[in-house]
Amino acid sequence: MKPGIVIKNQYRIDSIHSEDGGMGVVLLAHDLISDKGPLAVKYCREADDEVLHRFRREARLMQTFAGNNKVVQLLDADLNHEPPFIVMPFFQDGDLDTLRPQIQSDASIQEIIFLSMVDCVNELHRQGIFHRDIKPQNFLRAGNSIVVSDFGLGMELKSHTQFTRSSQWWGTPGYMPPEFLDDGGFKNATAESDIFMLGKSFYALVTGRDPQFINESLLLRPLAFVVDKCCKIEPRKRFSSLAQLRQALVAAYNIILGRVDPLGKGDFLLEQVLDELKRENKYSSDKVSECLDFFGSLDVAARWALIQRIPKPLFAVLAEPTFQEKLISFLGLYEEVVLSKPNGFEYAETVANNMDQVFRRSQDPEARAKAFEIAVKMAVRMNRFAAMDTCVSMINSVVLGDPVGAAVASIIALNPEGFLKAIEPVTLKNAEIRAGIQSIKGNPENLEASV
């Protein structure tokens, strides 16, 4: 397939457009029979059976979206030709990479583009298809609209004709989620996998940086929260659906573009939750989740204003299993605020009491350990004995075999404070914590006996 030849007695090849594709070459062509404007002819340049299989599957998946204006259209195909090829519209405006300067300089354009990207990928998910190679170059521009393209790595949810080698992974470095590198991970892609790559794409488009490593300081705080949640290492901690991601993007740009007063909206969301909690002793998990997500999009000053209004009972609610996936993220934001803002000495006791609720009620050892660590840091910073007593009470509550014991012992080792050294190891129920206390007392010879 070289410039000047005619294939299928219909398409004359004008030039090579791109040879960067993983398995195909894209040629610029035009139709000799009808005037359809510039066309893109993509042919499979590999003879490997698996690559040919993926190329044919790409054509089949494209046929699924005939007439869909959010997905690149298949105009023609000859999969028995040597080499097999497909014909698509040619997008003269290029891909999203060509729009980076405008995206980087205009937040309103960012919102439009990012929401359009989510909507395009959502068309795939609605059909049970995961893209598995999302990046800015795979969104093509036609004026003010974009379409998602390049399904060579796409996977149908119910497909049994996936990659033959379970350890094989494909995709684009810097955008691939970590689970793709696990044995068989690429074959078991999920909505969360595509969401990870969308987050990386948002970052790359806004910053112009390689998304391999994300520097959140380069993003406005509301967008940083969205990107961070998209790109969590553990899939369960990401947005679980594109609908959730879309909602978070709208909320973020409501703040960035000044469409809402961030503190006013935060007060409103929190008041809804507190009103139900006070009046009816119940809560709506959706409202609490919305409040937590919005909280993460705020700057430190706005978060501080809201945090002071959160009563102890709400921390007990946040420790419920329903919010396990959001709790660690919230505690990280909570720690950042309470340790960075000036506050009265008595506030250390408030923080310790709030963390005590999480420590005793949560079933997540990681969240419990984080709550203990925050309580210790605040007690020491403010030098408040009542807060220190709460920390000691948290330690004393840990029983033999409790999985949080090892984490608490590690925190104690990193914070060898005087009030912790004063604890008598023999009074503790958990062997790992006993060992941790003994280690900061400086009596290693008695460590084995104390355990």
Q: 231 and 282 in one domain?
A: no
As a whole-number percent, the residues of the chain with pLDDT over 70 amount to: 89
Half-sphere exposure of 248 (CA within 13 A, CB side): 28
Per the structure, the complete domain to which residue 302 belongs is given by 262-380
Q: What phi, psi does 312 have (nearest 5°)?
A: -55, -40
Examine the pLDDT at 187 and tell me if it is beyond 90: no
pTM: 0.74
Does 367 lie in the same domain as 271? Answer: yes
Cα–Cα distance for residue pair 342/4, rounded to 1 Å = 73
Is residue 112 domain-shared with residue 127, that is, in the same domain?
Answer: yes
Give yes or no: residues 41 and 73 share one domain: yes
Domain co-membership, 105 together with 214: yes
Q: Residue 423, Cα to own-chain centre: how many angstroms?
A: 41
Domain end, chosen from 89, 106, 122, is at 89
Which comes out higher in pLDDT, residue 264 or 139?
139
Instruction: Tell me if 240 is assigned to some domain.
Output: yes
CA 354 centroid distance within chain: 27
Please name the residue ranges forming H helices in 308-430. 312-318, 324-340, 347-361, 365-382, 385-396, 405-414, 418-421
The verdict on 33 and 152 lying in the same domain is no
Task: Give the model's pLDDT for residue 319.
Answer: 96
What whole-number percentage of the chain has pLDDT above 90?
Answer: 55
pLDDT tens, position by position, 394-451: 999 999 999 999 999 999 999 999 999 999 999 999 999 999 999 998 754 444 433 3
User: CATH number for the domain including 77?
Assistant: 3.30.200.20
Same domain? 252 vs 266: no
Give the per-residue pLDDT at 164.
40
Contact 239, 268 (CB under 8 A): no
Q: Where among 34, 61, 89 does a domain terminate? A: 89
User: pLDDT (tens digit, 9 = 90+) per residue, 16-43?
Assistant: 887 665 556 788 999 998 877 789 988 8
- Average pLDDT taken over every residue of the chain: 87
What's the structural domain count of the chain?
Answer: 4
Does residue 390 fall inside a structural domain? no
Distance CA 355, CA 332 (A): 12
| H/E segment holding residue 272 | helix 262-280
Cα–Cα distance, 335 to 370 (Å, whole number): 9
Task: Clarify whether residues 367 and 222 are in a common domain.
Answer: no
216/129 same-domain check: yes
Is the backbone peptide bond immediately before 444 cis, with ω within 30 degrees of 0? no
Residue recorded with tokens 């989740």: 289
237-287 residue pLDDT tens: 889 899 999 999 998 999 999 998 888 889 889 998 998 898 888 999 999
Helices (H), 139-239: 191-207, 221-230
Residues 267 and 356 placed together within one structural domain of the fold: yes
Tell me how far apart the alpha carbons of residues 205 and 26 are, in angstroms, rounded to a whole number. 24
101 shares a domain with 69: no
- My answer on whether 114 and 38 are in the same domain is no
pLDDT band at 154 (very low <50, low <70, confident <90, very high): very low
Domain final residue pick, 239, 256, 273: 256
- The residues that bridge with 404 in the sheet, in sequence order, are none
